[in-house]
Amino acid sequence: MEPKLLQILRSKGGNAPEQELLKELACTRDMLLNAMANLNGHGYKITLENQKWELVQEPDTPFPWEFPGRQNTIHYLPVTTSTMDVARQLAKEGCPHLAVAVADRQTRGRGRMDRRWASDHGGLYFTMVLRPDLPPSDGFRFTFLASVVLADLLKKLCRIDVGVKWPNDLITGQGKLAGILSEMHTTSGNIDFLNIGIGINVNNTPTGLETRAVSVKMLTGRKFSRTALLREFLDRFEKELHGSNDFNDVISRWKKLAHSLNRQVKIVTRNKIVEGFAHDVDEHGSLVVRLADGTISKVRHGDCFHV
């Protein structure tokens, strides 16, 4: 009942006669009062005056009911170790494709290459469970898709000039804005689940662990709704998942956003360092680097530094 109730309260702009609410929700007054008490207990402020209900204040918390149509697949936690842990558990228990674990804070947020991801209050931290019908070697496609969808969204919604840095960082001239981490589990050569974790510095002030990190608030001087960002991201990502399935199109969009191409780079992998001129990303998501001796090296995983 909460999603519909909130939708009506928002559409009435603070002027929702109780009789209308009871009629539209087809419920008893007790049921209505229970729903109001539930929302007020979760940080909303809904008041009644002269038989009219008003939504005076609402928290920016990604409660499941804030995602109409996804209510049963959003798993919100005020605090957790890492949404990657929660999503893995959900996936192992058989949750559906596109289930999401989202947290306000993480005590052990993880980044790529075994780094920590600072996860203070105000950022958006979530992991999606995907169950694609593709061979594991194509799993990387979804992180590229997530990067371009997120970059487009931040450009449009927050008016930030954001680009991508290979493989999946979202960066601006002032520093890193968001990071993406994926974890795959395969059974008998098929993807069982592919979890994509995204951390976006939204209203927080990232410090310490991430070098040169910035947030949406630091860049724009204003706060943005994390809930609205997540809602819009999931809608766009899902739409694209069910779209044309043309990965070449995703890669060409990624290239248009890329900060890591046509420049000198240093790639640090777990066991080697590759230095050269990055001039392309191939159909496997590998960075194509021309080395000083003219040979071509294709790097699949690693940390990219602009030199």
Within the chain, residue ranges assigned H as helices are 2-11, 18-25, 29-41, 83-92, 140-158, 216-220, 226-241, 247-257
- The DSSP result for 237-288, as a single string, is HHHHHTTT--HHHHHHHHHHHBSSSSEEEEEE-SS-EEEEEEEEE-TTS-EE
CB atoms within 10 A of CB 210: 18
Query: Could you tell me which stretch among 111-119, 154-162, 185-193, 279-287 binds ligand BTN (CB under 6 A)?
Result: 111-119
What are the beta bridge partners of residue 48? 53
Q: Is 109 an interacting residue with respect to ligand BTN (CB under 6 A)?
A: yes
Binding mask 172-191 for ligand BTN (x = CB under 6 A): -------xxx----------
Contact 98, 128 (CB under 8 A): yes
Least distance in angstroms from the C-beta of 176 to ligand BTN: 7
Q: CB nearest ligand BTN: which residue? A: 179
Among 63, 100, 169, 253, binds ligand BTN (CB under 6 A): 169
Binding mask 43-82 for ligand BTN (x = CB under 6 A): ---------------------------------------x
Q: Is 204 an interacting residue with respect to ligand BTN (CB under 6 A)?
A: no
Among 75, 88, 110, 259, binds ligand BTN (CB under 6 A): 110
Q: Which residues bind ligand BTN (CB under 6 A)?
A: 82-84, 106, 109-112, 115, 117, 125-127, 169, 179-181, 197-199
